[in-house]
Amino acid sequence: MSIGLSEGVFLLSRLLAILLITVVFIHALFDSKKIRLITSTILVLIGGLHYAVLFSISQYVVITIYPLIIVEHSDAGSAFYLDFGQLSIILLLILWRDRIKPAIKRCSSTGGEYTVNE
């Protein structure tokens, strides 16, 4: 590339794509608590790798982050694409909604105090 990106950025991008395919594959074929934990771990890795790639790219282009969209501005033009970091957070919330919803209800019913019942 003419903008001088290092091979590390491309390696992280490839790893990000592999992790996305892995999440879809695992979640489509299996359903258990262990799979939920594995999927959650992979989603956190996806978010971290995505923002690591953005940090590396930001040295060469201007990056603007919008809700679910990222825009890269350079001398050659602009490009936009999905923000996989925000998307992974949304997927995590959907994945754990059965645990989050009761916690929010308990917290709101106690006036903001949250206690863990074990």
Q: Residue 55 CB: number of other CB atoms within 10 A?
A: 12
Q: What is the DSSP letter of 65?
A: E
Residue with tokens 């929010």: 104
CA 28 centroid distance within chain: 18
Predicted pLDDT of residue 12 = 77
Residue with tokens 């491309």: 10
Tens-level pLDDT at each residue, the chain (118 residues) = 344 556 777 777 788 888 878 877 877 777 777 888 888 888 898 898 889 888 888 888 999 999 999 998 988 888 888 888 998 999 899 888 888 888 888 877 776 665 666 5
61: left (phi over 0), alpha (psi -120 to 50) or beta: beta
Predicted pLDDT of residue 2 = 40
Helix (H) or strand (E) holding 10: helix 7-29
Predicted pLDDT of residue 59 = 86
Question: What 3-state class would DSSP assign to 79?
Answer: strand
